[in-house]
Each structure stands twice: as C-alpha cells, then as structure tokens.
Amino acid sequence: MVAGSFAFGAFFIGLPSNSASALAAWALGDDGVLVFRTSKGANLKAFYQAADDIYGARLWVDFPGELIRPRRLKGTGPVNEIRLGKPTPGFTRFVVEFNPSVVLDPTKLRLLGVSPDRWALRLNGLSTRGLRTIGEGNLLPHGSKTLKKYNSLGATSVPLNLSTLPVVPRGRYRVVIDPGHGGPDPGAVGVGGIRESDVVLDISLQVAKLLKAKGVKVNLTRTTEVDLDLPPRVALANRLGASAFVSIHANASRVRNLDVNGIETFFFAGSSGNRLAANIQKQVLNVSPGSPDRGVRKGRFFVIRRTTMPAVLVETGFLTGRLDGKRLAKAPHRRKLALAIAKGILNYLRGLS
Ligand code: ZN
C-alpha cells in the first residue's frame, strides 16, 4: 500500500515471487474494461491514486513474478499511457495513467477474479470517448473464440410483492445490515471462483431495500466492494442506537469438502441476540431445502461481541458445498435468502412491540 493510494484488489493464494511474471496477457477494451489473463491462482493487488501536480490519476495492479521487458504504450482517449514495469525485484506492475482531467471513484473500482486465471476491472465512471482497444498477448487460451462475459454477479432486482412480509410500525425501528468482508478481503471463495464478498453484498442490498419498503430505517456498513475493518462496522451500529445488527456471510469448509453444507446463525452469549438469531435461522432454512440445520449457536465474532444491540451473524450456506454453493451462485436463490432474512428480522421486531 502506497501512502495516499487506495487499495481495492483481491488477494488469492500467491505464487513464489521469484517466478516469471504471472501476467500472461492483458487488454483494455474500448468499453473501459481492463482484462488480465494470469497464471492460475495468482495473487493480485490493485491500487488507485488520484491525480497530483505531476501525474494524472493512476491505477495499477501488481502481479507476482518478474517482468522481463519493461515498456510503455501510448494511450488513447482518456488514457495517457500504459506502463509495464518491475518496481521491486520479483514483481510486475501494470500501470494505467489517465489524462490529468480524469477523476475516478476508487470505491467503484473492483478487480474481479472471473476464473482462476482471468480478471476483469471495469473502469466505472471513465468516459470512453476516443478510447481504442489496446492489449498484448492472447487472452483466449485453448483456441476459444469468444470472451466470456466478465460480469460479477449482476444486480438482482427486488421482488415487487412485499405483502408476504410481516408489518411493523413505520419509522419505529432502525436496523444495521453488515455485508461481510469486501474489497481486498473476498471472504470465502467457492466453487468456480464465486466470492463471499459479492454474494453477501447482493443479499444485503436486497435485505436493506425490503426492510426500507416496510418502513424500517436501515443502515448498511458498506454498499460497495470496499474493505472495511470490523471496528467501524460496530461503531456505526452503536452510534445509531439500532434495534438490531445483522451481519450476513457465507461459509467455506476448511478442506473445501463438497459434502459440507448447512445454515447457521450466531449470537453472542449473554446478549439478547438469541431470539433474533432464531427468527432468521428459521426463515433461511425455509428457503434452503436439503441444507442441514447447523443451528442457532453462540459465537464470539467481533461484530456481534462488541455491538450494544441484539446482534447476529448469519451464515447463508457453504460456498464450497455442492448444494449450497450452486444455489448461492444463482440470483433467484439470493433473492429468496434476502426475503427470508428480512422476514426473520421483521418477525423479531414485531415481537418487540
Ligand atoms: Zn464470512
């Protein structure tokens, strides 16, 4: 991390740093999407730095393994120059330097692992006027003809019919929803490279919308793919005096056992989170047929231990599981999970009045 810069990369298991560059091919498309092909499972880190007196805004990605031939390529449109260098022995740095007028919002930049050897970064907010596709190397191994769409999960829309959700007095309650992980911390990575941080953000945004539609005041600890330490998440909830705090996660089995599936919801012993946990657990199980009930359990996670209101952490399934993982990758299931969690929260709130 360079002072003043903003890291937004994803971390994966790394290669030994003395190997050849993990960067095999790259392209910056005229649609403003940067694509990399790397060796499998490479550990990438991405950074953004705003323009200063000397340089335009820069975005760079560090790859393990040393580049043989440092080089510069002239940019087009909003891009001034692309540089490939080796800032430190054993690494490759890929830099996009923009024209001085370009300003990007680093919280909207996401480097996504779309497969074990493929990455995509959409330059959100960049005007693509005059931008021409530029690249080096073959992005399409094995003779394949088309690039797979490098969308992450895609946003899922919230169902219009909210009548199945319990009614609580409008404006009386405030709930903090905490999408687990984010930014450089992808959380669990499941079958096919699906990332916990993406899955839980999608679910959480929908839960928030549903609760708001039912008259509950909602705060999200993060709304984009950014990293956030645990203390600010807790501080936010405590400061707001929320009625409930719900941290949403997805699980991974340590040995990536496909047969481990199930739903569990944690509360901190001695807190009043038990009933909130039971309500959520019940509803999530309802929309996860076949997935084992791992129960309402006592946990010591920071976010539920240090919050001053009833607080729970729900594990919506195992990304590494054959059953759960396949489901969590699908938008309709994530919508069901969002409805279930919202229903559990509303049932709990109804019990308070
Ligand atoms: Zn998690």
On whether the CB atoms of residues 76 and 130 are closer than 8 A, the answer is: yes
CA of 9 to the centre of ligand 1 (A): 18
Distance 249 CA to ligand 1 centre (A): 4
Q: Are 280 and 263 in contact (CB under 8 A)?
A: no
Cα 78 to middle of ligand 1, angstroms:
38
User: Which residue has better confidence, 266 or 55?
Assistant: 266
Q: 191 or 123: whose pLDDT is higher? A: 123
Ligand 1 center from residue 240 Cα (angstroms):
24
| pLDDT (average), residues 113-119 | 78
Q: How remote is the CA of residue 210 from the centroid of ligand 1, in Å?
A: 22
Ligand 1 centroid to residue 93 C-alpha, Å: 30
Q: What mean pLDDT do residues 94-121 have?
A: 85
CA of 119 from ligand 1 middle (Å) equals 22
Which of 207, 338, 46 shows the shortest CA–CA distance to 221?
207
Q: Letter for the amino acid at 10?
A: A
Distance between Cα 23 and ligand 1 center (Å): 29
Residue with tokens 């999407």: 33
Cα R_g (the chain), whole angstroms: 22
Q: Output 342 or 138, whichever has higher pLDDT.
A: 342
Residue 13: per-residue pLDDT: 32
Beta bridge partners of 82: 73, 96
**If you measure from the C-alpha of residue 271 to the centroid of ligand 1, how many angstroms do you get, rounded to a whole number?**
21
Does 177 have pLDDT greater than 70? yes
Does the structure show a pLDDT above 60 at 152? no
CA 334 to centroid of ligand 1, rounded, Å: 16
Distance from the alpha carbon of residue 8 to the mean position of ligand 1, in angstroms: 18
| 245 HSE (CA, 13 A, CB side) | 32
Query: How remote is the CA of residue 196 from the centroid of ligand 1, in Å?
Result: 7
Centre of ligand 1 from the C-alpha of residue 300, in Å = 13
Environment of ion ligand 1 (residues, CB < 5 A):
180, 187, 249
What phi, psi does 162 have (nearest 5°)?
Answer: -105, 10
> What pLDDT score does 66 carry?
83
| Other beta carbons within 10 Å of 216 | 23
Integer Cα distance of 220 and 182 in angstroms: 13
